[in-house]
Amino acid sequence: DYSESIDALGRAIETLKKKDVDKKQASLVQVVSMNRMPSDVKRSIQAFLQDEPEPEMSAPEAYGYEAQSGGIIEMLEKLADKFVGERNTLEKEEMDAKHAYEMMAKELSDEVEGATVAREEKSGAKAKNLQGKADAEGDLEDTISTMAEDKKYVDDLVATCEQKAT
C-alpha cells in the first residue's frame, strides 16, 4: 500500500536526519575512561599519554565520523514524493472508476425501469387486444347466428310467398 510505504519513508528520513551529524573524534583520555576498555589497554594508553608532551598549539580537532547520509536522505525524499504522486494518481483513477461505475449503474437502472414500464404498457395493450379479439369473436358468432336465423326467416318467407302465389 502506498500510504504505508510513504509513512515508512517519512520515518526513515526523520531517523536519518536525526543521525546526520558530524561527530568529534574521541580523545584518548575519553577512551581510557570508558568502562568497556580492558585494563591492559587502559594502562598502555595512559603510559602513552604521560610520555607525550602537550603541544602548545593544537591542530583543529578532526571529526571522527562525518555523516554521509545526505544523498540517501535526498533519494528517500524523492522516492517519497514519487510515491505520493503515484498514490494521488491512483486515488484519482479510483475516484474516476467509481464515478464511471455509478454512472453506468444509474444508466442500467434507468434502462431497467424504462423496460419495465414498456413491458407493462405492452402487457396492457396485449390484454386490451385480447379482450377486443374476444369481443369481436363474440360479435362474429352473434352475427353468424343472426344471419342464419335471418336466412331461415327469408327462406321461410320465400316458401310462404310461393305457396300463396300458387
pLDDT of amino acid 25? 47
**In the prediction, which pLDDT does 114 show?**
97
Q: How far apart are CA 100 and CA 93, in angstroms?
A: 10
- Mean of per-residue pLDDT scores for the chain: 81
Q: The dihedral of CA 25, 31, 37, 43: what is its sign?
A: positive
The answer to whether the CB of 65 falls within 8 A of the CB of 24 is no
Q: What is the pLDDT of residues 9-46, one digit of tens each?
A: 888 888 877 776 555 444 555 555 656 656 776 676 67
Q: Using the predicted structure, report yes or no on whether residue 57 has a pLDDT greater than 70.
A: no
pLDDT of residue 72: 75
Confidence (pLDDT) at 35:
61
How far is residue 88's CA from residue 90's CA, in Å, rounded to a whole number?
Answer: 5
Cβ neighbours of residue 79 closer than 8 Å, sequence gap 6 or more? 9
**pLDDT for the residue 24:** 47
If we measure between CA atoms, which residue out of 95, 83, 59, 75 comes closest to residue 16?
75
Q: Which of 52-66, 74-88, 148-162 is predicted least confidently?
A: 52-66
Per-residue model confidence as pLDDT tens digits over 120-145: 999 999 999 999 999 999 999 999 99
| For residues 79-98, average pLDDT | 94
Distance of CA 155 to the CA centre of its chain: 89
Name the residue with higher pLDDT: 66 or 130: 130
- C-alpha–C-alpha distance, residues 13 and 67, integer Å: 14
Q: How many Cβ atoms are within 10 Å of 76's Cβ, its own excluded? A: 18
Say how far apart CA 111 and CA 7 lie, in whole Å.
Answer: 45
